[in-house]
Amino acid sequence: MPILKFTESNAVPDAYFLAPEKLIEGNPKQTVWMHYTDASKKFMSGIWCSEIGKWRIIYTEEEYCNILEGTSIITDDLGTAVTVTQGESFVIPSGFVGTWEVVAPTKKIFVIYEPEH
């Protein structure tokens, strides 16, 4: 299988809105470009972007992120907040529960491993 560059991928944008029960503030339109999914559907990577808003998150997956644009605040269920902005990379571990708030439209590269699939 050849190396896949995101810049040469034929990924098609998939725009969506979050389920109402997840929303806390706003109704941000989100778009994902899925660049790669392995045969088991446990490992995937792509680009995601979101408009301003805030919603609840519960991670069953492991996710590496690199912020390309914007600013978001990720807060755990104990109230500890981490602000992430352009150029920063981080990992959200499986089991993380909290909120994701986009304060400036955010775009990220993501790599996900979902052991439950």
Residue 48 belongs to a domain: yes
Domain around 109? 34-113
Output the pTM of the full model: 0.93
Q: Identify the pLDDT of residue 7.
A: 84
Instruction: Report the CATH number that the domain containing residue 76 is assigned in CATH.
Output: 2.60.120.10
Residue 66 belongs to a domain: yes
Residue 24 belongs to a domain: no
Residue 96 belongs to a domain: yes
Structure confidence by residue, pLDDT tens digits, 12-32: 999 999 999 999 999 999 999
DSSP the chain: -----GGG--PPEEEEE--GGGEEE---EEEEEEEEE-TTSSEEEEEEEE-SEEEEEE-SSEEEEEEEEEEEEEEETTS-EEEEETT-EEEE-TT-EEEEEEEEEEEEEEEEE-TT-
CB-CB contact of 33 with 47 (8 Å): yes
How many structural domains is the chain composed of? 1
Q: Which two tokens stand for residue 9?
A: 């991928």
Residue 14 belongs to a domain: no
Q: Is the pLDDT of residue 41 over 90?
A: yes
